[in-house]
Amino acid sequence: MSRFFSSKYSALEPYVPGEQPSCMSEYVKLNTNESPFPPSKKAMDYALNNTRALNLYSDPDSVELSKAIADTYNVKRNMVLATNGSDEILNFAFMAFTDSSNPALFADITYGFYPVFASLNGSRTEIIPLREDFTIAVDDYIDRKGTVFIANPNAPTGIALPVSEIERLVASNPDRVVVIDEAYVDFGGESAVGLVKKYDNILICQTFSKSRSFAGGRLGYGIGSEALISDLNTVKYSTNPYNINSMTSSMGIGILRDASYTEANCRTIMENREYTVKALEKMGFRVLPSSANFIFVSSDKIEGGEYYRKLKEKRILVRHFQKPRISSWCRVSIGRRDQMEAFLKATEEILKESV
């Protein structure tokens, strides 16, 4: 830390992203929940032909892109805000709807960026433990004051909440905001986006990084009432008005136009997930029920950190979190069938070696 660093950040512990090795071909990369499939070819053709001139600034309102997102969900354009990854809409939500007197409420085991955003923005937090089985108990949030952040499906567990439970939470207190982070919803979860027309206190955050194969393009969005989106726009225009670059914007439109490609890829990932889960259970692993493009696994035969390290030695990258309650678990992204076979083969060998 330099002597110039503001004291307001002295306690800030930055988010630690999963490893991004420079020589990708050396690894089977199952550690950051990206799609193993390339972005839609039709979308790339669309972007090549429709990207706004790059000597001009990008459209600060992302009008065409927001329209395409709004049409996808059958909402008005001013109920949508496109952002630089969904991390940005989440940060905007922490900036807009939490502070030192209105805390952020979230689970003890959830997306690791929430506590960082809270700390960055000087917001108070209240951490609500998941139940013993790693499910979210909505009742634990109902009588508390503050803005709720729930990843649904949750990460790194992959467990999904039904929309009826989210509606019960949103309806229980119209005077607080509930943010539902649906980064992984396309792999078998149930989206709560339909609730935005009925309630003005729910914000849905989604991304192009997972099901839509566009993590490197950095595109996400929020959908909520016009008033919530207007507040988030105030924050955006006070931070980075041109937050979406023109190439990403046209790719986003192209990706939405080729929805059948996204849907087919999601089906393949779900099939590969079921295939992998069955094989792991046969080997004696515990696997939490996942509605995401990753699974959370543990075994009595090997400790989580050791399993991670041994897989890495065999050139398979997964994610291990050295955190209370989950240090014996590893999170494994679901990739192509050949990648999952390589992962399963390596796992079998590791179990044999550790006997």
**Between 167 and 181, whose beta carbon lies closer to ligand PMP?**
181
Q: Given candidates 111, 296, 307, 308, which one binds ligand PMP under the rule CB under 6 A?
A: 111
Q: Given candidates 85, 158, 222, 335, which one binds ligand PMP under the rule CB under 6 A?
A: 85
**Between 223 and 302, whose beta carbon lies closer to ligand PMP?**
223
Maximal C-alpha separation, the chain: 62
Stretch that binds ligand PMP, among 80-88, 239-247, 259-267, 322-330 (CB under 6 A): 80-88
Q: What are the CA-CA distances from residue 130 to residues 107, 134, 136, 192 (Å)?
A: 6, 5, 5, 20
Is 40 a binding residue for ligand PMP by CB under 6 A? The answer is no
Least distance in Å: CB of 290 to ligand PMP? 13
Q: What are the CA-CA distances from residue 191 to residues 194, 253, 302, 349 (Å)?
A: 7, 21, 36, 39
**Between 87 and 165, whose beta carbon lies closer to ligand PMP?**
87
Q: What whole-number distance in Å separates Cα of residue 28 and Cα of residue 234?
A: 42
Instruction: Convert residues 254-293 into a mask of x (bound to ligand PMP by CB under 6 A) and - (unbound).
Output: ----------------------------------------
Q: Given candidates 43, 66, 87, 212, which one binds ligand PMP under the rule CB under 6 A?
A: 87
Instruction: Convert residues 203-232 into a mask of x (bound to ligand PMP by CB under 6 A) and - (unbound).
Output: ----x-x-----x----x------------
Region 112-151 residues binding ligand PMP, contact defined as CB under 6 A: 151
Q: Which of the 8 DSSP states describes residue 221?
A: E
Stretch that binds ligand PMP, among 3-11, 82-90, 92-100, 320-328 (CB under 6 A): 82-90
Is 351 a binding residue for ligand PMP by CB under 6 A? The answer is no
Q: Given candidates 183, 203, 229, 244, which one binds ligand PMP under the rule CB under 6 A?
A: 183
State which residue has the least CB distance to ligand PMP.
85
For residue 203, the one-letter residue type is L
DSSP-based three-state secondary structure for 330: strand
Task: Report the chain's C-alpha Rg in angstroms.
Answer: 20
Q: Which of the 8 DSSP states describes residue 4?
A: T
DSSP-based three-state secondary structure for 100: coil
Asked if 213 and 39 touch (Cβ cutoff 8 Å), the reply is yes
**Between 150 and 350, whose beta carbon lies closer to ligand PMP?**
150
Least distance in Å: CB of 161 to ligand PMP? 13
Q: What whole-number distance in Å separates Cα of residue 310 and Cα of residue 27?
A: 13
Stretch that binds ligand PMP, among 47-55, 85-93, 125-133, 334-342 (CB under 6 A): 85-93
Nearest CA to 148 out of 107, 109, 189 is that of 107
Least distance in Å: CB of 267 to ligand PMP? 21
Count of other CB atoms within 10 angstroms of residue 307: 25
Q: What whole-number distance in Å separates Cα of residue 19 and Cα of residue 333?
A: 13
Q: What is the DSSP string of 140-205?
A: HHHT--SEEEEESS-TTT-----HHHHHHHHHH-TTS-EEEE-TTGGGT----GGGGGT-SSEEEE
Asked if omega into 14 is within 30° of 0 (cis), the reply is no
Q: Given candidates 167, 181, 186, 190, which one binds ligand PMP under the rule CB under 6 A?
A: 181
Least distance in Å: CB of 128 to ligand PMP? 16
Is 334 a binding residue for ligand PMP by CB under 6 A? The answer is no
Stretch that binds ligand PMP, among 22-30, 84-92, 191-199, 301-309 (CB under 6 A): 84-92
Q: Which residues bind ligand PMP (CB under 6 A)?
A: 85-87, 111, 151, 155, 181, 183, 207, 209, 215, 220
